Structure 1
Amino acid sequence: MTTAPLLTTLDNLAVGASGTVIHLAPSGQGGGLDVSRRLMELGFVPGERIRVLKRASLGGDPVAVKVGHSTFALRRFEAALVSVAPE
């Protein structure tokens, strides 16, 4: 019997936690900047390993994330679009 990995979103990962990007949800911002597309262009693509480095002390927004060899600060709503399988 095979069990599916538990998925969460990047905004729910704890500081220091790692995972693998599984899916990016559509941003749903019609007519505006397509956030999901921008995230993919930055390297948040299925199969890529990520690690949460730090969160802001007030409200946890933004969150610093390492993807590949780059570090990005994402707003909480952006991080919520990225589904990950925690390690």
Structure 2
Amino acid sequence: MTQAPTLIQLDTLAVGKSGTVVHVAPGNYEDGHDLARRLMELGFVPGERIRMLKRGMPGGEPLAIKVGNATFALRRFEAALISIQPE
């Protein structure tokens, strides 16, 4: 019997840990712009490997995330839309 992989939201990934994007949930900014589309355009697409580089202080925002060869700063609510399989 195989177990389904454990998925977590990107905003809960520990600093220095890596994972693979599995899903980006739909979401909108307050002005109505499609947040999931923006995240996918930045490279947060299923199958892409990511790494949590750093959390800002105080409050842990923004999150510095490495995707491919690029580094992005995400707010916690943005990162919460991204489901990953941790390594």
Question: Fold-level match, TM-score > 0.5?
Answer: yes
TM-score scaled by length of structure 2: 0.95
Give aligned pairs, total. 87
Seen in structure 2, the aligned counterparts of structure 1 residues 21 and 77 have a Cα distance that, compared at 3 Å, is same
Gaps of 5+ in 1: none
Inter-partner Cα distance in structure 1 for 2:41 and 2:28: 17
TM-score where L is the length of structure 1: 0.95
What is the aligned-residue RMSD (CA, Å)?
1.3
Unaligned stretches of 5+ residues in structure 2: none
User: Structure 1 residue runs of 4+, over 3 Å off?
Assistant: 28-31
Distance 1:6 1:42, change over 3 A: same
Letter in 1 for 2:2: T
Partner of 1:27: 27
Counterpart secondary structure, 1:23? strand
